[in-house]
Amino acid sequence: MFQQALNWINGQHRQSGEGLGPGSSGDQVWHIRPPDLCQEKSGLFLHVWGPEGYWHIVDGETHELLQMTGQPVTLADLVQRRPEWGVQREMIAKVLRKVTQGLAHTAPPTETQIENVSLNLTQACNLHCATCYLSDRERSPQKLDADAVIYFLEKLGSRLSRAASISLLGGEPFLNPEGVLAMAEWAQRRRLSCNVSTNGTVPLGNVIPQIRRAGLRVQVSLDGAAARTNDAIRGVGSYERALNTAQALIAGKIHTTLCMVACRENLAELGDYLRLARRIGASEARILPLKRLGNAEQNRLEPAPQLAILQGIAAELAHDPSLETLLQSDLYAIMRNLVRDSSRRGSCGSGTQTLLVQPDGGIFPCANSTWAEGQLGTVKDAPESVVAKGAQWGAGISIDKLSHPCYACVVKRWCLAGCPGETQQREGALRNRHWNCADLKESILFMMWQNSAAETVKETGRTRL
C-alpha cells in the first residue's frame, strides 16, 4: 500500500529534491505538521500545505500514517502502534522522506528573467467585440515602431530569457502587418517563440507564406462553435471570415490555434468547439476565461465560472481522451501544469517575468495592467531602470506580505491572488481580494483531484474518482 502511495505522490506533481536516499533507522524522529486543508473523496485524502505550496492525494492508510507524525514519532513508535506495518518500514520511511522533502523544497531565485513580452502592435481594430480586454475608448490608429522595440529587447541582454516568448497583440495586429513580420523574423533569428492573436477577419493574402517562413504561430479568435453564438459577441459575419482564415492558415502548414473566451453565452459549446478545432485540423484549441476588463466590463458580460469551464472540459475528455492533444495552452492545460508544480512564488510574475509594450512605446507590467500609474518606462529608457521598476511592482503585489488579504490562504501559491489588472479595475486597489476568489480556490482544488485521477489512469488504466 505504501509503495502505491509513493508512486501517486511522485506522479501527482513536480518538485525539487527527487532523491529519496536510503531507508531510515527506527531511531529517526519524524514530525510533519498537519496539512492546512484536508478533503476526503471515496476513501482518498487531499492534503494541502499552503505556505509551502505543497499537496498530495493519498489513501486512507497513508493519511493515518501522516496523522501520527503530527507529533514527534519514530518508526519504532509507528510499528508499535500498528504492528502490521513492520514489514513496510523501509517504504514508510521513503513516504515520510518524500513528504518532508516536498514541504522543504527551495524557493525560486529572487532574480528572475523576462519570460514573455507582449506587444500591442496597434490599438486599432476593425471589430468591436464584446469580450475584448480593451475598451473602445482606448482605440488608436498609432502603430508600434518595431525597430525601437527590437533595440530595447536587444539591450535587455541576459535579462530576457533564452526561452522567452513574444506575443503580438492589438487591436488587430494584422492592421500593422509590417510590424507583425518584423517582430516574427527578429524572434526567429533569436530562436524565440513568437505568436500572434488575430480576429481572422483581415485578409492575409500573400502574407501567409511569409508567416510560414518566419515560423510564426497564429491564434484565431472564434468565440463560439456556432456562427450565431460567435457573431452575437464579435459581429455579424465574423464567424465565417475567421473560420476561413483559420483554414487557410492550416492549409499553409502554419501552427494554428482556435481561441474562445468563455462566458455564459458560449459555455455550453465547449465540446463542440474542441471537435470543431479537430475537424478543421487546428494545432490547438484554447479556451480561456473572460476577464472583466475593457469592453467585457463595460458590456457587463458575465464570465463563465472557471470551475464550470474546467468541469466541462474534464467531462469532454472523459468521453473522448483524444481531445486532450488540442489542449496545450488553454485554461485546463495551464491549471493542470500549475498544480503539478510545488511553488513558493510570491506573485503571478507581472512586471518581473512579463512586460507589455504599447503602440506609443510605453512599457507596462502585463497586458492587463496598463493604467498610467503602473507604467514602468518606455522603450527609450535604460532596460535596468524598467527591470528595477518591474521588480518594485512585483514586490507590491506579493502574497507574502502580511498585509495582503491572501497571505493566509491555503491555495495562495497556485492562485497568486488572481489577475492584478482585474482586481484593480473591479476592486479599485491592486492588493484587494480578487472578485472571483471562491471560484479560483475551488478550481485549484478540482484540478488537484483531476491530476491525481489522471496519474492513476496512467498507472492502472482506471480512475480512482
Contact yes or no for 263/131 (Cβ under 8 A) = yes
**Which of 148, 158, 56, 155 shows the shortest CA–CA distance to 103?**
56
**E strand or H helix at 451:** helix 437-460
How do 29-30 and 73-74 pair as beta strands? Answer: antiparallel
Write out the three cell numbers for 427.
Answer: 476592486
Q: Is 170 helix (H, G, I), strand (E, B) or coil?
A: coil
348: phi then psi, degrees, rounded to nearest 5: -75, -10
Q: Is 404 helix (H, G, I), strand (E, B) or coil?
A: coil
How do 44-49 and 37-41 pair as beta strands? Answer: antiparallel
215: phi then psi, degrees, rounded to nearest 5: 70, 25
Contact yes or no for 4/94 (Cβ under 8 A) = no
CATH of domain 114-304: 3.20.20.70
Contact yes or no for 348/420 (Cβ under 8 A) = yes
Q: Is 134 helix (H, G, I), strand (E, B) or coil?
A: coil
- Report pLDDT for 460: 43
**Which of 160, 184, 356 shows the shortest CA–CA distance to 255?**
184
**Contact residues for 196 (Cβ-Cβ < 8 A; gap 6+):** 167, 168, 169, 173, 174, 180, 184, 216, 217, 218, 219
- CA separation for the pair 370, 376 (Å, rounded): 10
- Report pLDDT for 381: 98
Domain boundaries along the sequence of the chain: 2-107, 114-304
- CA separation for the pair 285, 332 (Å, rounded): 11
Residue type, 6: L
- Report pLDDT for 465: 30
- Report pLDDT for 18: 40
pLDDT, averaged in runs of 10, over the chain (465 residues): 71 49 65 96 95 93 96 94 94 93 72 91 94 82 96 97 96 96 98 98 94 98 98 97 98 98 96 98 97 80 94 97 96 93 84 96 95 95 97 93 94 93 85 92 96 57 35
- Report pLDDT for 461: 40
